[in-house]
Structure 1
């Protein structure tokens, strides 16, 4: 068995492996690599294990700068999932060892594996994130019945308020970006640059769509969704806070689920949320059961697991300040910061 960095000529072979692998995800695909490199100029090393010329394991790695000095290594940035996919424990162990060697050679402070299952019991684990996934049923009646009564009532409220949905592509980017960036500013979180979303459409094509929600012809909520194999993945979204009383979010996700079953998708992946947060409880109220995401770390220099998330008390003054910024200023500053927050 041989382990080496992927060459450009092997991109299709890599993607074919990802599509067939149990642990493979959209975030392992070469398209995600191109988006991150074009938008943030991250340096990447895509490790592949070969047996008789065929790929039998993969590990995409990105080197990400820290705000002041130093770097971290992440598999993969801005992805809910990532990490290592392989055919056997032997391949897993060898890929992991090579990754550790690269982390030491590159003098990074940490190496993060965003696995859906634990990679190595000996590695430090962050028990903060959970994902929410369930089947999309065939037809409105079964899908509505799978949603608890209170949220069914909220969906019907949105319908009764006259909310309308529309699904489209890059032509909806401006409308999407306004409600998305407004929502993030109100949460005290930097937004991605507009060009990042343009790159997503360029690289993902029909796998990327936007659903908007309108009230009296005004777009009040929007979600960018990825469609990967049989999976619907609402990923970036937001809404105008003054319209939340019209149940815009419940209506939006119901309409997205409707689009999913009408187009033959089988799985609704509600994405990652932090334990005991508002989004965590929102997804549970929709009838989704949380599944732990055991992100694991290799720390070449020792120390603690990185803690760059809004629950960190050290970040509270920054979050409070960001919430008070005018939206145009927040949207100018955000892209300079987001590359350090993978």
Structure 2
């Protein structure tokens, strides 16, 4: 077996392997790596395993080096999922051994693996879960399947006159809502170029939606990916001052309805941290959580890292960020956000 670094010439065979592998995800695609590279330029160490002239495994791997957040490898950067895809467990082990070797050569603290299922022998963080649910063939059947309180919130949004607009031409309004929403959460916002890179690389497989109230003011937004038979809202925001209008419930219903009409089979609500607001919101929509196994190869670290905003040591910084003027947060946020992989 030969394990080597992937090159641009491998893009087609890489994505073909991802699409054919039962555990292949949006985040394993080379297009995901392309978008991250275009936006940030973080070093990539994507690995391909070959045997008898064919691909038998791969591991997307990016390098993050920040004075604030540390120096580490991650599979895959800025993604919900990553980790090795392989024909056999033995091949996956070989890929992990190569990743650890690169980590040592680069003097990294650890390798983070965003796995769906845990791999044996690695420390595991029980922080994230995924929420996914089948989309019913009929639009109204999906509305009826939403639990009563959330369904009432959807109807309130409709009654309040909320409207949804889809398309890449909604990008500027999308980014403005995202910037305000991140500021309200105390989180650094990504640069515009980060989100634009997804639009440029994924084309028709990514979509922007903006929700507006009666007078036309944007109040919520979401950037959504389409992968295989899944609709995947991934980057979303809303404004607290309009929460009485239930813009989030309205937003996700409009997206579910659109996905149903498009023929999607699965509504992938994405990941949430356990016991957070987004976790509760998705539970109230009738989705059940499935644990994700974020695992670590510790190299120059003694314990698993904790870069989550739920870490108590970040609470003071989050409060200070919320008090920062919005315009300033748009300037100082992107240089920090590019390392929050």
Same fold (TM > 0.5): yes
Paired residue for 1:200? 198
Report the CA distance between 1:69 and its aligned residue: 8.4
Structure 2 CA distance for aligned equivalents of residues 37 and 47 of structure 1 = 16
Report the CA distance between 1:238 and its aligned residue: 1.0
**Per the alignment, in what secondary structure is the counterpart of residue 302 of structure 2?**
coil
Report the CA distance between 1:7 and its aligned residue: 2.4
Report the CA distance between 1:243 and its aligned residue: 1.1
Paired residue for 1:79? 79
State whether residues 69 and 307 of structure 2, in contact with CA within 8 Å, keep that contact through their aligned partners in structure 1: no
Paired residue for 1:238? 237
Paired residue for 1:114? 114
Paired residue for 1:341? 340
Tell whether 2:176 aligns with 1:178: yes
Report the CA distance between 1:340 and its aligned residue: 2.0
Paired residue for 1:166? 165
State whether residues 133 and 267 of structure 1, in contact with CA within 8 Å, keep that contact through their aligned partners in structure 2: yes
Q: Higher mean Cα deviation, 267-276 or 143-152?
A: 143-152
Structure 1 CA distance for aligned equivalents of residues 218 and 244 of structure 2 = 15
Tell whether 2:28 aligns with 1:28: yes
| 1:161-219 Cα deviation digits (max 9, x unpaired) | 111111112x1111001111101100100011011111111101011101111111222
Structure 2 CA distance for aligned equivalents of residues 90 and 272 of structure 1 = 28
State whether residues 35 and 199 of structure 1, in contact with CA within 8 Å, keep that contact through their aligned partners in structure 2: yes
State whether residues 75 and 82 of structure 1, in contact with CA within 8 Å, keep that contact through their aligned partners in structure 2: yes
Report the CA distance between 1:66 and its aligned residue: 2.2
Tell whether 2:255 aligns with 1:256: yes
Paired residue for 1:331? 330
Tell whether 2:115 aligns with 1:124: no
**Per the alignment, in what secondary structure is the counterpart of residue 151 of structure 1?**
helix
Structure 2: give runs of 5+ residues left out of the alignment: none
Paired residue for 1:209? 207
Structure 2 CA distance for aligned equivalents of residues 133 and 86 of structure 1 = 24
Q: Which runs of 4+ in 1 moved over 2 A?
A: 66-70
Paired residue for 1:43? 43
State whether residues 74 and 113 of structure 1, in contact with CA within 8 Å, keep that contact through their aligned partners in structure 2: yes
TM-score, length-scaled by structure 1: 0.97
Paired residue for 1:92? 92
Structure 2 CA distance for aligned equivalents of residues 64 and 12 of structure 1 = 25
